[in-house]
Amino acid sequence: MHFIVTLPELLMKYLMDPGKVTHLLNIVLFLKLKLYIKARQKNNLQLLLENINTVMERHSSDEVLETGSKCLQYLCSGETSLTSMCQIVLRSQVDLFVIKFLRAVDVVFRKESSHIEDDVYSMLSALRRVRAFYLYHDLSSWEIWEDLFLVLRSVSEREDIPEEIVVKTLQSCSMAVIFYYKNLNGKNPDLEEMKNMRLKLGFLMQSFQEYLFHDSDHIKEQAFLVICDLAIIFSPNIAEDNPLLTPIVFNVDTKLTSYLTEFLLMKVFVEDAEDTVSEAMKHKELTKRRNFLSSFAKLIVYKVIHIKAAAIIFKHYIKYSKEYGDIIKYTLTKARENNKVATSKTLAISLQQMFHELQAEQGDIQCSSPAFQAIKELGKKFALSFGPDAIKNRQAIAAIHIEGILFSLTPLENPDKGPDAAPPNITFLEILCEFTCKLIKQDRKNVLDYLDKMISKSKSHMKSDDWQPFFIYRNGLLQREESSSARRKHLEESSSPESSSETSYDLRTPSPQGLQPLTSTVSRPAYQDVDLSPITEIESITSE
């Protein structure tokens, strides 16, 4: 009750202080609106609304405008007899800045202005309010889409337009499309409305794609974020939940996916700033990069783009573990929940990409080099991520071996080094050795057969030292197979009557005659009920 009376006065008292005004506006969100009726404080509510409008007219900072917009949304959402009064004030405020925006757009882009700087500033001031109100209010009824899109398409050709206008327009256009989607009748959507909205979405995404290559870093970053957000909102998932919304689905093609991955390489997986930069700035920059990576990771998790696009993330797991390790680990976990085999193939692709980069740098790869050992370390981390349950992940583990063998032995010939030379990627098999321990016995034999089948035509030429990685990998498979057989043979011999001593001992606790011997009630391991049959068609793992 105290702030119902005093808040309007406090807003005027600290009108010119953005920080204090923002804190005072936040108090509005905790007011009990029904008290305005019970305590007959209608005049104070009217005064509060007028003062909020005054604050939003005087200030242009995003923080003040967004908080003021949120306050009006809260006051208009209450189910009281005073709600209509709040809505009238809201409409008058929106009318005011929409008129200014439309007038400024008309002068700057449709007519020749003699005072271009004043008109551009007027448009920027109005755009700040458009963007702030779009965060909490549906402005579709004011029909400003055409003008917003005109600004979006025209500013790239104008050097006299500040980048903040571009950023605010990007954000406003994306929110406008979201409100068009929100206003659709989910139970019986109008087909013509969906076609128009999908057309707007297509034009919008095409424009955002172009802004990914803008000279301004800030514009690039905003374009990346809104593309990721809209791609998730209009992903095929909405059609799965409601098939009637299929016409508005937006599919991210391989071209756009490549643009997004290039952005990550330029903006996320980069070295830290110089030592001269303050810790506060470094922290702010890291937070921004993590936001970029999270936005892209969501596209993977929600299956908006193909899992193979995540290779660029996974290959930086160790190098950037401190900065993004939690995000990468979560992405890997969720990707496995979606498709274990496809995720394993993506892990193989990430290792192959690093291998190719090392080849381009070194030519003939030196297995003792720190760079090669770093790839092996990444392979070990990937292997550990499968956990101890090899039965549960057998298809996924087999898939990574098959992908690795195909990569290592393709092409099989190496004409640059002679007819007897090993394949150019043969060294990759040393990295693949890190996953051998995860194969169960049945799959190990099948992988070994597949390896021999791939190399059967070149057995007569496998004499040079270049083939050493092949024998290391193959012996790793054989040794584990032989060690399993040796252990089994040892157990059989130790349990046979011939191997026991002449005196036999009954290790069971003696029990009275007539009673059945007690058996353990401990639960059997879960894998006893799992099908352990070999993967006979191991080539099928490679097809997807």
Q: Give 218's pLDDT tier (boundaries 50, 70, 90).
A: very high
Distance CA 8, CA 180 (A): 35
The mean per-residue pLDDT over the stretch 74-86 comes to 82
Report DSSP state, residue 253: -
The predicted pLDDT at position 334 comes to 96
The predicted pLDDT at position 193 comes to 94
Give yes or no for a contact between 330 and 297, defined as CB atoms under 8 angstroms apart: yes
Global confidence as pTM? 0.85
Domain ranges of the chain: 1-109, 138-183+190-242, 252-271+284-338, 339-479
Give the pair of three-digit tokens for residue 9: 């006065």
In the predicted model, is pLDDT for residue 290 greater than 50?
yes
In the predicted model, is pLDDT for residue 526 greater than 60?
no
The mean per-residue pLDDT over the stretch 115-121 comes to 83
The predicted pLDDT at position 516 comes to 39
Q: Give 262's pLDDT tier (boundaries 50, 70, 90).
A: very high
Residue with tokens 């068009």: 180
In the predicted model, is pLDDT for residue 507 greater than 60?
no
Q: Give 463's pLDDT tier (boundaries 50, 70, 90).
A: low
The predicted pLDDT at position 84 comes to 87
The predicted pLDDT at position 411 comes to 85
| 3-class SS of residue 409 | coil
Q: Give 500's pLDDT tier (boundaries 50, 70, 90).
A: very low
The predicted pLDDT at position 422 comes to 83
Q: Which of 87-101, 393-407, 516-530 has the lowest mean pLDDT?
A: 516-530
> 497: buried, middle or exposed (CB in 10 Å: 19+, 13-18, 0-12)?
exposed
Better pLDDT: 142 or 38: 142
Q: Give 482's pLDDT tier (boundaries 50, 70, 90).
A: low
The predicted pLDDT at position 38 comes to 67
Better pLDDT: 485 or 6: 6
Q: Which of 355-359, 475-479, 533-537 has the lowest mean pLDDT?
A: 533-537
Distance CA 476, CA 438 (A): 12
The predicted pLDDT at position 483 comes to 54
Angle at the Cα of 407 from the Cα atoms of 401 and 412, rounded to 5 degrees? 120
In the predicted model, is pLDDT for residue 533 greater than 70?
no
Among the listed residues 77, 64, 66, 85, the one whose alpha carbon sits nearest the alpha carbon of residue 31:
77
In the predicted model, is pLDDT for residue 498 greater than 80?
no
| 3-class SS of residue 205 | helix
Better pLDDT: 429 or 506: 429
Better pLDDT: 492 or 148: 148
pLDDT in tens, 359-417: 999 888 888 899 999 999 999 999 999 998 888 999 999 999 999 999 999 888 776 77
- What string of DSSP letters covers 319-344? TTHHHHHHHHHHHHHHHHHH-HHHHH
Q: Give 543's pLDDT tier (boundaries 50, 70, 90).
A: low
Distance CA 242, CA 139 (A): 26
Q: Which residue blocks in 409-523 are alpha helix, DSSP H?
A: 428-432, 441-455, 468-495
The predicted pLDDT at position 160 comes to 77
Q: Give 457's pLDDT tier (boundaries 50, 70, 90).
A: low
Average pLDDT, the chain: 85
The predicted pLDDT at position 513 comes to 40
